[in-house]
Amino acid sequence: MPYLVCDSCGGYYELQPGESPEDFSDKCECGGHLSYVQDLDEADGSNEVCPNCGGVIRDKDEVCPGCGFELKESPLTENQLIFGFLWYLPQIGIFMIGFIAVTYMLGIVIVHSFNSQPITDFYSYLQTLLITLIFPIILLVVIIALIRRFKSRYLGLYEKKNLNWVAIVVAFLIAIVIGMFYGRYLPNNVSLIGPLVGGFIAGCIVGKSYINGLVNGGIPAGIAGFVGVPLVTLLFKSEMHTFNNSSPEMALLLLSVGAIAYFVVFFLIGSIGGILGAGIRKKVNR
């Protein structure tokens, strides 16, 4: 006989003939989350859990009985999903910074080499060019592989219906206003409180699971950092002495590297805030 079991207080309700989980709210009276199980033995914590809602799933399940989330070949726990987001997104950002920097430096080397010596041996220059391009090509292949791995293994398992646009907008606005604009007047990198506070409030709003706090709080904060760098640079260009004294190519390099670096930093800090906010919301609901 199927049951709805509370993950928080342990209470359960036996579904009657003709009843389904869709007929009931996914919230217990205590505020905890209700999971669908075929028998009470499944609720002892020894089973896999849905990476989307945290409900109990069995090996033969192709979709989560509680939320209808389509399960892939190997269902991941919430902790594994969190690890995937925190591990792959910063890696992608770091390798992108490396790709941009290496491409810029190699471009300078190639141009200088071509300008300093006349092209007397075309094949020699072609060989030099191909050898030089190996490094950015390797970095580009690594970036593509990481993106494909992250998308298929982790991002594809996150249920898009759990995106909360109110939380996303709040996290983005707080991160970009405090972290990027007002942060210019804060000492000692106190501006990093922007993505932390934005992620925390977003986590409190969603509060369903830690991964929802991370996605709704961390990713918008990261986007705020990425967008904020060119915005602040354009709005306060007269104060950016290093930027103004650089060549157009160097300025573009600094802008690109800075935007990606801020995405990584704001994403990590916003994710921490989102996880903390979701955790506090879950404890309060209990």
Write the pLDDT tens digit of every residue in 47-98. Answer: 565 656 656 665 556 666 666 666 654 457 888 889 999 999 999 999 999 9
Domain total of the chain: 3
Amino acid 283: pLDDT: 83
Domain membership of residue 239 (yes or no) is: yes
Domain membership of residue 178 (yes or no) is: yes
Q: With 90 as the cut, is the pLDDT of residue 154 above it?
A: no
- Minimum mean pLDDT range among 1-5, 91-95, 115-119: 115-119
pTM above 0.85, yes or no: no
Domain membership of residue 74 (yes or no) is: no
Are 138 and 34 members of one domain?
no
Are 41 and 84 members of one domain?
no
Q: Tell me which residue range forms the domain holding 185.
A: 163-286
Domain membership of residue 64 (yes or no) is: no
Domain membership of residue 139 (yes or no) is: yes
How far is CA 56 from each of CA 25, 53, 214, 254, rounded to the nearest angstrom? 16, 9, 21, 48
- In three state form, how does the secondary structure of the chain look? CCEEEECCCCCEEECCCCCCHHHCCCECCCCCEEEEECCHHHHHCCCEECCCCCCEECCCCCECCCCCCECCCCCCCHHHHHHHHHHHHHHHHHHHHHHHHHHHHHHHHHHHHHHHCCCCCHHHHHHHHHHHHHHHHHHHHHHHHHHHHHHHHCHHHCCHHHCCHHHHHHHHHHHHHHHHHHHHHCCCCHHHHHHHHHHHHHHHHHCCCHHHHHHHHHHHHHHHHHHHHHHHHHHCHHHCHHHHCCCHHHHHHHHHHHHHHHHHHHHHHHHHHHHHHHHHHHHHHC
Amino acid 130: pLDDT: 76
Are 38 and 25 members of one domain?
yes
Most confident option among 51-65, 106-120, 271-285: 271-285
Are 143 and 181 members of one domain?
no
Domain membership of residue 72 (yes or no) is: no
Domain membership of residue 67 (yes or no) is: no
Last residue of a domain, one of 94, 126, 158: 158
Domain membership of residue 94 (yes or no) is: yes
User: Closest by alpha carbon to 269, among 214, 227, 226, 229?
Assistant: 214
Burial track 252-273 (b if 16+ CB lie within 10 A, e otherwise):
ebbbbbbbbbbbbbbbbbbbbb
Phi, psi of 16 (to 5 degrees): -90, 160
Are 135 and 94 members of one domain?
yes
Q: How confident is the model at residue 195 (pLDDT cuts 50, 70, 90)?
A: very high
Write the pLDDT tens digit of every residue in 215-264. Answer: 999 999 999 999 998 888 888 777 776 767 778 888 888 899 999 999 99
